[in-house]
Structure 1
Amino acid sequence: MTKADIVDVIASATGLTKVETEAVVDGFISTVINALKDGKNIEIRGFGSYKVKKRKGRIARNPRTGEQVIVDEHFVPLFKVSKELKTLVNENLKNIQFPNITLDSPKQ
């Protein structure tokens, strides 16, 4: 589902125009981004929470060349799903049969 799909669903459900709905969705996204840039946590009950986590600097390896690379300390945004949303998703999907995929199957 893309942002345009979300705008369409919300516009249909609320009676707002797509332009108005897109402004609301853009406002929500901007608010989340600006709060995370300011180091603030965001909690939406029943949905999840956003936060920024500090990752320590480390020495990594370039997988293509094998050369050691220094990765500086940096911050990453994280999203943690709420227990309520996890439960809803699991209840809805637990009876769906997913195809078995083996890692050693030949590519076609």
Structure 2
Amino acid sequence: MTKNDIARVLSRILSSKKEAEAAVNKVFEEMSNSLKNGDKVVITGFGSFNMLETKTKQGRNPRTCEKLFIAPMKKIRFKQSKKFFE
């Protein structure tokens, strides 16, 4: 399912497709902003999203077998609700 699919379904409830697209875009924008600020996004009955920062880890170049360090990065973690599978 894509953002357009969500907007199409939402347009059945709202008055227009443009209004539905704007609502979907605003929801995802607010979710992104919350995650960037370090807040947790919880959707009851579906799951939760939170931002994790990985640690620096050691890797290697597969061609030269040279050891290198992989810089820390931010990742989004999703944990589904128990009700999601019921």
What TM-score do you get using the length of structure 1 for normalisation? 0.71
Give the equivalent residue in structure 1 for 2:7: 7
Relative to structure 2, which stretch is displaced further, 53-62 or 35-44? Answer: 53-62
Identical-pair percentage: 34
Greater relative contact order (CA < 8 Å, ≥ 6 in sequence): 2
Q: Which amino acid aligns with 2:82?
A: K
Measure the CA separation in 1 of the matches of 2:60 and 2:11.
47
1:56-104 Cα deviation digits (max 9, x unpaired): 11011344x24433111222111111111122xxxxxxxxxxxxxxxxx
SS at match of 2:68: strand
- The structure carrying a bigger strand percent of its residues is 2
C-alpha RMSD of matched pairs (Å): 1.5
Measure the CA separation in 1 of the matches of 2:14 and 2:24.
15
Measure the CA separation in 2 of the matches of 1:77 and 1:33.
10
What TM-score do you get using the length of structure 2 for normalisation? 0.87
For these two proteins, the number of residue pairs brought into alignment is 85
Distance 1:27 1:45, change over 3 A: same
Q: Which runs of 5+ in 1 are unaligned?
A: 88-108
Equivalent runs, 1:1-108 vs 2, <5 Å? 1-12=1-12, 14-63=13-62, 65=63, 66-87=65-86
Measure the CA separation in 1 of the matches of 2:38 and 2:18.
30
Determine if contact 2:14/2:20 at 8 Å carries over to the other structure: no
SS at match of 1:23: helix
CA apart distance, 1:47: 0.9
Q: Which amino acid aligns with 2:34?
A: A
Structure number with larger C-alpha Rg: 1
